[in-house]
Amino acid sequence: EKYVTCGSAIKLSHVESGGKYFLLSDERQLNSGSGQQLVTSVEDARTPNGLWQVREQNDAKEICEVGTPIKCGDVIRLMHIGTGNNLHTHGIKSPLSNQHEVSAFGNGQGEGDTGDDWTVTCSGGYWMREQPVQFKSVATKRYLGASSTVKFTEQNCGRGCPILNHLEVFGRSQNDQYSQWKVELGVHLSK
């Protein structure tokens, strides 16, 4: 079966942009808003900065066992493999679309706060590879989103922009095509 499982390292592709853009983070900081670690979506499936580990929610009573399939409705964290910080959102406005900012946050070892917790929203009983999935923030009730039309350009980011042509990633109030993602690549662990 093609379950997405706890402990797996995955790459998330954005559905509305044709599946060509992947959720990315690295050690750069946002130069506005929270100043936390940057999260964007980039048109590069090979980037090592696009790997995220599926983990149990913040302050979970039990650690999810490696290889356990994730059910629709489970609350998880996505830890950025390269930096050890978690996919995070809060009420600060995003720089381009003025929705909610999405960043990576934590102590570099996968520990953060409840802004790192996401409910897996999918159809059927389990989160499956190659099937659309949405992530709803437990803290803000916003969906992880991006849009092929909300892109960093020289006009909105300046000359020599280090994230030129990346898509802004944001917390979105609507549950729609802009908040759909898929797992197509990764290191998938099973029991």
Q: Which domains does the chain have, with CATH numbers?
A: 9-187 (2.80.10.50)
Closest CA to 137 of 34, 58, 29, 37: 58
Residue 191 CB neighbour total at 10 angstroms? 9
Closest CA to 75 of 86, 91, 90: 86
CA distances 42 to 20, 30, 94, 147, 187, Å, are: 8, 16, 17, 12, 20
The residues near 70 (Cβ < 8 Å, ≥ 6 apart) are 3, 4, 5, 6, 54, 76, 120, 126, 127
What is the distance between the alpha carbons of residues 110 and 96, in angstroms, rounded to a whole number?
Answer: 28
- Which tokens is 131 given? 């099937």
For the full predicted model, state whether its pTM sits above 0.75. Answer: yes
* Per-residue pLDDT tens listing for the chain (191 residues): 799 999 999 999 999 999 999 999 988 776 777 878 899 999 998 988 999 999 999 888 888 999 999 999 999 999 999 999 999 999 999 999 999 999 999 888 888 898 999 999 999 999 999 999 999 999 999 999 999 999 999 999 988 889 999 999 999 999 999 999 999 899 999 98
